[in-house]
Amino acid sequence: MVDIIKTVITRVLFLDFIKGLLVTLKYTLSRSITLKYPDHETWIPYERFRGEHKLHRNEDGRELCVACELCVAACPTDCITVVPMEDETGRRGINDRVAKVWEVNLVRCLYCGYCEDACPTTAVRLSRGFELACTDLDGTIREREALLTESPIPEHYEGGVVVKAKYIRKLIQIKPELWKQKDWWPAKPGRSKKR
Amino acid sequence: MPSIDTLIVVGVMLLKVLIIGGALFCAPLPLTWIERKLAGRIQQRLGPHRVGPFGLLQPLADMIKMFVKEDIVPAKADSFLFKLAPILAMAPIFAIFVVVPFGPDITIPFIDYKVSLYITDMNVGIIFVLAISGLAVYGLIFGGWASNSKYAMLGGMRSTAQMISYEVAMSFAAVGVVMMSGSLSLVDIVTSQSGGFLNWNILYLPVGPLWFVIFLIAGLAEMNRIPFDMPEDEGSLAAGYHVEYSAMRFAFLSLAEYVAMVSIAVLLVVFFLGGWDNPLGSLIPILDYVPPVFWFMGKVGAFIYFFMWLRFTIPRYRYDQLMTIGWKIMIPLSLANILATGMIKIYADYRITDVLEMVGLKLW
Our CA-based measurement puts residue B328 at a distance from the nearest CA of chain A, in whole angstroms, of: 15
Residue in chain B nearest A32 by alpha carbon:
B44
CB-count exposure of residue A6 (10 Å: 0-12, 13-18, 19+): exposed
**CB of A181 less than 8 A from some CB of B:** no
Is the pLDDT reported for residue A79 higher than 80? Answer: yes
**3-state secondary structure string, chain B?**
CCCHHHHHHHHHHHHHHHHHHHHHHHCHHHHHHHHHHHHHHHCCCCCCCCCCHHHCCHHHHHHHHHHHCCCCCCCCCCHHHHHHHHHHHHHHHHHHCCCCCCCCCEEECCCCEEECCCCCCCCCHHHHHHHHHHHHHHHHHHHHHHCCCHHHHHHHHHHHHHHHHHHHHHHHHHHHHHHHHCCCCHHHHHHHCCCCHHHCHHHCCCCHHHHHHHHHHHHHHHCCCCCCCHHHCHHHHCCHHHCCCCHHHHHHHHHHHHHHHHHHHHHHHHHHCCCCCCCCCCCCHHHHHCCHHHHHHHHHHHHHHHHHHHHCCCCCCCHHHHHHHHHHHHHHHHHHHHHHHHHHHHHCCCCHHHHHHHCCCCCC
| Sequence-ordered alpha helix ranges (H) in chain A | 2-12, 15-29, 70-74, 114-118, 144-148, 165-169
Residue in chain A nearest B210 by alpha carbon:
A12
**CB of A27 less than 8 A from some CB of B:** yes
Our CA-based measurement puts residue A1 at a distance from the nearest CA of chain B, in whole angstroms, of: 22
Closest partner residue to B44 (CB to CB) among A14, A21, A33 is A33
From CA A154, how far away is CA A157, in angstroms rounded? 6
Q: At what angle do helices B247-272 and B150-181 cross, to 10 degrees?
A: 20
B310·A21 Cβ contact <8 A: yes
Chain A CB contacts of B43 under 8 Å are 27
pLDDT of residue A93: 66
Strand A141-142 relative to strand A41-44, pairing: unpaired
* Measured CA distances, B238 to B72, B76, B286 (Å): 18, 19, 52
A36·B310 Cβ contact <8 A: no
- Quick: pLDDT tens for A25-60: 888 888 888 888 877 888 888 888 888 888 888 888
pLDDT of residue A69: 86
Closest partner residue to A27 (CB to CB) among B42, B49, B213 is B42
Interface confidence, given as ipTM, is 0.78
Residue in chain B nearest A24 by alpha carbon:
B42
Chain B CB contacts of A14 under 8 Å are 213
Question: Residues of chain A with pLDDT > 70: what percent?
Answer: 80
Pick A171 or B363 by higher pLDDT. Answer: B363
From CA B57, how far away is CA B64, in angstroms rounded? 11
Give me the amino acid identity at B166: Y
Closest partner residue to A32 (CB to CB) among B46, B213, B309 is B46
A49-155 CATH fold: Alpha-Beta Plaits (3.30.70)
> A144 falls in which pLDDT band (50, 70, 90)?
confident
**CB of A34 less than 8 A from some CB of B:** yes
> A91 falls in which pLDDT band (50, 70, 90)?
low
Is the pLDDT reported for residue A182 higher than 50? Answer: no
pLDDT of residue B152: 85
Chain A CB contacts of B302 under 8 Å are none
pLDDT of residue A86: 72
**CB of A26 less than 8 A from some CB of B:** no
Instruction: Say how far residue A172 (Cα) sits from the centre of its chain.
Output: 16
B49·A36 Cβ contact <8 A: yes
pLDDT of residue B306: 92
Our CA-based measurement puts residue A150 at a distance from the nearest CA of chain B, in whole angstroms, of: 32
pLDDT of residue A95: 67
Our CA-based measurement puts residue A184 at a distance from the nearest CA of chain B, in whole angstroms, of: 13
B42·A24 Cβ contact <8 A: yes
From CA B53, how far away is CA B56, in angstroms rounded? 6
pLDDT of residue B335: 92
A27·B309 Cβ contact <8 A: no
pLDDT of residue A89: 67
Mean pLDDT of A54-77: 86
Q: Which residues contact A166 (CB under 8 A, 6 or more apart)?
A: A172
Closest partner residue to A34 (CB to CB) among B38, B46, B309 is B46
Mean pLDDT, chain A, whole residue set = 78
Is the pLDDT reported for residue A116 higher than 70? Answer: yes
| Most B-contacting residue of A15, A34, A37 (CB-CB within 10 A), to test interface | A34
Chain B CB contacts of A11 under 8 Å are none
| Most B-contacting residue of A12, A23, A27 (CB-CB within 10 A), to test interface | A27
Would you list the domain boundaries of chain A? 49-155
**3-state secondary structure string, B164-213?**
HHHHHHHHHHHHHHHHHHCCCCHHHHHHHCCCCHHHCHHHCCCCHHHHHH
pLDDT in tens, chain B (364 residues): 778 888 888 888 898 889 988 988 888 889 999 999 988 888 888 888 888 888 889 889 988 988 888 888 888 888 888 888 888 888 888 888 888 888 888 777 777 778 888 888 888 888 898 888 888 888 888 888 888 888 888 888 888 888 888 888 889 999 988 888 888 888 888 888 887 778 888 888 788 888 999 999 998 888 887 788 776 776 777 777 778 888 888 888 888 888 989 999 999 999 888 888 888 776 777 777 778 888 889 999 999 999 999 888 888 888 888 888 888 988 999 999 999 988 888 887 777 777 777 777 666 5
B309·A32 Cβ contact <8 A: no
What values do phi and psi take at B17, rounded to 5?
-60, -45
From CA B115, how far away is CA B118, in angstroms rounded? 9
